[in-house]
Amino acid sequence: MLVGNIISFVKTAVLLGRFFVSKTSVHEREQLKLRLKEWNRAHKASLFERILDEDELESRRKIRMRCDVDKAWNEVQTRLDARRNKTRLRRCLFKLESVAAILVVMLLAGGILYDAHVGRQKRIMARIAQIRPGGAQATLYLADGEYVELGTVDSLSDLGSARINGENSLTYQSGSAAESSGRHASEPEEEIYNTLITPRGCTYDVTLADGTRVWVNAASRLRFFTTNRAAERFVTLEGEAYFEVAHDPERPFVVESGGQRIRVLGTHFNVKAYDAHPVVYTTLVEGSVEVTPQSGGESVHLVPGEQAAYHRQSDRPIEVARVDPMSALAWRSGTFIFSHATTSEILEELSRWYCFEYEVAPYLDRFRFTGQFPRFGELDRILEIIASTGTGMKIDYDGERITLK
């Protein structure tokens, strides 16, 4: 019974649906009326009678005629699209908000790391800025084994024939007439030699007994005669020094350094012979010099503006080239001049003057630099300029060693 009622209700509903859209035939309308009459509830029958009323049908038909179904459908579609767009927009906004939140976190983290890196780098450079050269200091070792710290004494000292001039110069007085003529005696006295050693970061100058003046660069050793009696004025040098040799045609002035021998009568020249460097450079400013390998080999004679390069660890002959003498003498005028220098070569010069150990990553020596810096400038500024040349160089300092990587 229940199933039959459900089937009857469904069929009636189908007929009503077709009726509402004006799709029923005459037979179907009659069938619908019969089905409605079978309903036993008066209000339902009244409702359906109203629905089936001819006037009501005509009124609904006129309303349907006035309606634009396509327009209405388009409006529905538009509203659905707008709703879908709003949903899509909300999803995009949510994604953008998520991405923005992630970016903010990343930026904050990056900012913190950057600030930490910048802060550390600033602290490193501030510590490097505290490194200063020492000035005019040296240690004088006497022939009898005693020594004197120069640069800390500003008055006369008991050094025999030597006089300390201020804090940066030492002068040896010429010997007596008897000493000066001793070189002509049949049995000349043995020469007395002192040694001047400059530490890293310091320079000193000394005037020898014959009037020759020598400026000794940092980290150098000069062994020199102290009287004016020998037939040959002989000195040895390790490191770098600039000589203004007093002219004496009877007694040549000889410098042995880095495996070579330089012989002059009176001239101005610079010798650079540091043990760490395989090449010894002799640069002539005035006069003439003769440079000879001590191991044997052909000598070369220089004229002003020429530089001899002696490769102490090979059998190559001495090479002579035209140069600007002022570049070799830049240290005397308080300037660093670098020409196509590697990073290691620059650090070698700087470390000798500013007194620090260093380490350079091998790849950095592929780069070469040309420029000049004040010798008494701040070390951190020099390193910052070198590091800012696009090499990707990083600077580190542990209190003793500067590392470029």
pTM of the model: 0.69
CATH code that applies to domain 233-324: 2.60.120.1440
Distance, in Å, from the CA atom of 164 to the CA atom of 255, rounded to the nearest integer, reads 24
Structural domain boundaries of the chain? 2-67, 137-231, 233-324, 334-405
Three-state DSSP state, 111: helix
Label residue 2 by pLDDT band (50, 70, 90).
very low
Same fold, 233-324 and 334-405: no
Q: What would the pLDDT profile of 373-389 be if each residue is shown by its tens digit?
A: 999 889 999 999 998 88
Is the CB of residue 302 less than 8 Å from the CB of residue 320? yes
Percent of the chain with pLDDT over 70: 67
Three-state DSSP state, 155: coil
List b or e across 89-110, with b for residues whose CB sees 16 or more CB atoms inside 10 angstroms.
eeeeeeeeeeeeeeeeeeeeee
Is the CB of residue 372 less than 8 Å from the CB of residue 337? yes
Three-state DSSP state, 256: strand
Closest listed residue to residue 403, CA positions, set 219, 128, 120? 128
Distance, in Å, from the CA atom of 33 to the CA atom of 125, rounded to the nearest integer, reads 103
Distance, in Å, from the CA atom of 38 to the CA atom of 9, rounded to the nearest integer, reads 11
Confidence at residue 112, expressed as pLDDT on a 0 to 100 scale: 45
Backbone angles phi, psi at 27, to 5 degrees: -60, -40
The region of weakest confidence among 88-92, 129-133, 345-349 is 88-92
Percent of the chain with pLDDT over 90: 46
Q: What would the pLDDT profile of 165-214 be if each residue is shown by its tens digit?
A: 766 788 988 754 334 434 444 445 678 899 999 999 999 999 999 999 99
Distance, in Å, from the CA atom of 336 to the CA atom of 349, rounded to the nearest integer, reads 8
> How many helices, marked H, and strands, marked E, lie in the chain?
9, 23
CA dihedral of residues 21, 23, 24, 25 (deg, nearest 10) = 150
Overall CATH class of domain 334-405: alpha beta
Three-state DSSP state, 175: coil
8-state DSSP, 154: -
Confidence at residue 185, expressed as pLDDT on a 0 to 100 scale: 42
Q: What would the pLDDT profile of 279-315 be if each residue is shown by its tens digit?
A: 999 999 999 999 999 888 899 999 999 999 999 888 8
